[in-house]
Amino acid sequence: MRMVDLIAKKRDGKELTTEEINFIIEGYTNGDIPDYQMSAFAMAIYFRDMTERERADLTMAMVNSGDTIDLSAIEGVKVDKHSTGGVGDTTTLVLAPLVAALDIPVAKMSGRGLGHTGGTIDKLESIEGFHVEISKDEFVSLVNNHKIAVIGQTGNLTPADKKLYALRDVTATVNSIPLIASSIMSKKIAAGSDAIVLDVKTGAGAFMKTPEDAKELAHAMVSIGNKVGRKTMAVISDMSQPLGRAIGNSLEVQEAIDTLRGHGPADLEELCLALGRQMVYLAGKASSLEDAEEQLKEVIRNGQALDKFKEFIANQGGNPEVVDHPEKLPQAAYRIEVPAREDGVVAEIVADEIGTAAMLLGAGRATKESEIDLAVGLMLNKKIGDAVKAGESLVTIHANRENVDDVVEKIYANIRVCDHAEAPVLVHEIVT
């Protein structure tokens, strides 16, 4: 087989065989196929697309390019939830204990945040003592005994994707549905769960800016998952404005606690239930999605979800008292209100820009090496569709520096108030 012939085949719109796709990904991973040929191949896919079969093969070839996590020592159906990335997305912190409270194993491998999106591990580390540096054996035993554990990224997962993603970044081939879908799914499949629930975000703060693009990506990923034997479902959800009210690490832990108590922001609660019911259903613990949702609401009502969160924190070295005493979470030195300058209705809160405003305070990383400040962030006091009077606070800034003029300016530039606006639809579609 010669790479040049395979590039030509895809360029001419023909379908590649499984063997051909494996040859390309193996050759690229071990360095036999150079970047310039892979660039041409990625561009050919960009213009010619791939069939569902080719997409599944590409995904599995990338899975097989490196280590995979074996979760077979964990009893039960392991369901993973993956979000395509957003601002103030506190769903994992809520869903992990919520689903585990129903005896469904949550074996989560998580990452740190970069840029305007936060990372689950950073958020959890705002709880004093909490750590994710646990051994594989400890991880398995925690999930078997307590149904929940979070571990930091381990092993050399999907090296082919790492190499290809970096190449796509500089060859204008990131924005291709088959390439994005196989990239995301390869990482999820290598992480070992039996079933996958995807939260595909759409809007200013998301990778996919329109619901149509998000829908296409969701269908592509669900198809790949199901084709390779992992039950997969997706929710398409709004990320035009940040999710919930809190953006920032310890602020989001507090928000997760409120939500587990049944007093969280309405949008965060709605999305957690929409994703959670799919997780419970795929785990085989409910006869229908409605039944699954009822079970989730019950463990919020009876306090079991909150108890599970305390148990989880204690198991990983954290102080569970933060749940009843949130003042024990890191607190910022200054709270600064950002008042509305006119009467009206909030029409726009540009998610990615507001995420960047939180990053300026130190809540997120500008580069992989940046240190983050777990205490700082933003609390949105108004969301799209809310009425506001001049002088009323739009946002509370939690800062560890006195002068926050740069952040205030960014907030005013990205929150628009006008005469009339309605809250955006949160859950656009369920893809099964």
Catalytic residues: 82, 161, 168, 183, 187
Q: What gap in Å lies between CA 432 and CA 430, rounded to an integer?
A: 7
**207 contact, one of Ca ion, ligand URA, none, CB 5-8 Å limit per kind:** ligand URA
Q: Which of 184, 239, 395, 397 binds ligand URA (CB under 6 A)?
A: 184
Q: Which is nearer to ligand URA, 90 or 183 (CB)?
A: 183
Q: Quickly tell me which residue has 């084709």 as its tokens.
A: 227
**183 contact, one of Ca ion, ligand URA, none, CB 5-8 Å limit per kind:** ligand URA
Give 156's contacts (C-beta < 8 A, 6+ positions apart).
66, 67
Q: Positive or negative, the Cα torsion across 166, 169, 170, 172? A: positive
Secondary structure of 214-226 as H, E, C letters: HHHHHHHHHHHHH
Binding string, 32-71, against Ca ion, x = CB under 5 A? ----------------------------------------
Which stretch, 146-154, 176-184, 277-285, 329-337, contacts ligand URA (CB under 6 A)? 176-184
**244 contact, one of Ca ion, ligand URA, none, CB 5-8 Å limit per kind:** Ca ion
**407 contact, one of ligand URA, Ca ion, none, CB 5-8 Å limit per kind:** none
Name the closest residue to Ca ion (Cβ): 244
Binding string, 80-109, against Ca ion, x = CB under 5 A? --------x-x-------------------
Which stretch, 172-180, 231-239, 250-258, 283-291, contacts ligand URA (CB under 6 A)? 172-180
147-166 positions binding ligand URA, by CB under 6 A = 165
CB 280, min distance to ligand URA, A: 26
Q: Which is nearer to ligand URA, 184 or 274 (CB)?
A: 184
Secondary structure of the chain as H, E, C letters: CCHHHHHHHHHCCCCCCHHHHHHHHHHHHHCCCCHHHHHHHHHHHHHHCCCHHHHHHHHHHHHCCCECCCCCCCCCCCEEEEECCCCCCCHHHHHHHHHHCCCCCEEEEECCCECCECCHHHHHCCCCCCCCCCCHHHHHHHHHHHCEEEEECCCCECHHHHHHHHHHHCCCCCCCHHHHHHHHHHHHHHCCCCEEEEEEEECCCCCECCHHHHHHHHHHHHHHHHHCCCEEEEEEEECCCCCCCEECHHHHHHHHHHHHCCCCCHHHHHHHHHHHHHHHHHCCCCCCHHHHHHHHHHHHHCCHHHHHHHHHHHHCCCCHHHHCCHHHCCCCCEEEEEECCCCEEEEEECHHHHHHHHHHHCCCCCCCCCCCCCCCEEEECCCCCCEECCCCEEEEEEECCCCCHHHHHHHHHHEEEECCCCCCCCEEEEEC
Which stretch, 52-60, 175-183, 297-305, 375-383, contacts ligand URA (CB under 6 A)? 175-183
Q: Quickly tell me which residue has 């949550």 as its tokens.
A: 106
201-240 positions binding ligand URA, by CB under 6 A = 207
CB 168, min distance to ligand URA, A: 7
CB 198, min distance to ligand URA, A: 12
CB 210, min distance to ligand URA, A: 16
Query: Binding to ligand URA by residue 250, rule CB under 6 A?
Result: no
Name the closest residue to ligand URA (Cβ): 183
Q: Quickly tell me which residue has 């999305």 as its tokens.
A: 271
Q: Which is nearer to ligand URA, 183 or 250 (CB)?
A: 183
**88 contact, one of Ca ion, ligand URA, none, CB 5-8 Å limit per kind:** Ca ion
Q: Tell me which residue of 253, 268, 308, 317 sits closest to 106, measured CA to CA.
A: 308
Q: Which is nearer to ligand URA, 87 or 143 (CB)?
A: 87
Binding string, 97-136, against ligand URA, x = CB under 6 A? ----------------------------------------
Q: Which of 179, 181, 246, 374 binds Ca ion (CB under 5 A)?
A: 246
Q: Which is nearer to Ca ion, 88 or 320 (CB)?
A: 88
List residues near ligand URA by CB under 6 A.
Answer: 165, 174, 179-180, 183-184, 207
List residues near Ca ion by CB under 5 A.
Answer: 88, 90, 244, 246
